[in-house]
Amino acid sequence: MKQELKKLKPINFIMLTIAGFINAFGITVFLMPVNLYDSGISGTSMLLAYLTPEYLTLSIFLIVLNVPLFLYGLKRQGLAFTIYATYAVGMYSLGSWLITDILPLDVSLASPLAENDLVLCSLFGGVISGVGSGLAVRFGGAMDGI
C-alpha cells in the first residue's frame, strides 16, 4: 500500500484539477442549459438533477453515483488509481457547482456562448468534455465512469 502511495505525483493532481474543471465547463455551459445529456454517469446525474428537487444538484449526483465505481476501481485498479479518480470526480463536481451555483453565469435558459443552437452546444460540449475526460485518463484518473 505504501508503494502505491509513493506513485502519486503532484503534477497529476494539478492536471486532474484542470481536467475536472474543463469537463465541468463543457457540461454545465453547453449541454445542461439546452437539455442535452451526456453519456454515462454524467448524463445520468444530469437527468436526475433535472427530475429531482432543486437542492439535489448535479454536483451531488456526480459524487453519489460514482461511489460504486470508486469501490470497484479500488478492487480492480488499486489505491493510486482510486485516489486519482476520486480527486478528478471531486474537481468535476466542484467545478459544476461553482459554475451553476456560485459564478454569476446564467445557464438556466440557454448556453451563454451558443444560446439555443443544439448543434453548436452538442459539438462544443462534447469536444470540451471529451478533452477533460481524456486529460483525466492521461494523468492516471478517470471521470464519468470510464
Report the chain (146 residues): mean pLDDT per 10 consecutive residues.
79 96 93 88 91 91 93 90 94 94 78 84 92 94 78
- Which residues, in sequence order, are CB contacts of 2 under 8 Å at separation 6+? none
The confidence score (pLDDT) of residue 109 equals 73
The confidence score (pLDDT) of residue 108 equals 72
The confidence score (pLDDT) of residue 53 equals 93
Give the whole-angstrom CA distance, residue 40 versus residue 52. Answer: 18
The confidence score (pLDDT) of residue 96 equals 93
Which amino acid makes up residue 42?
S
Give the whole-angstrom CA distance, residue 127 versus residue 124. Answer: 5
The confidence score (pLDDT) of residue 116 equals 84
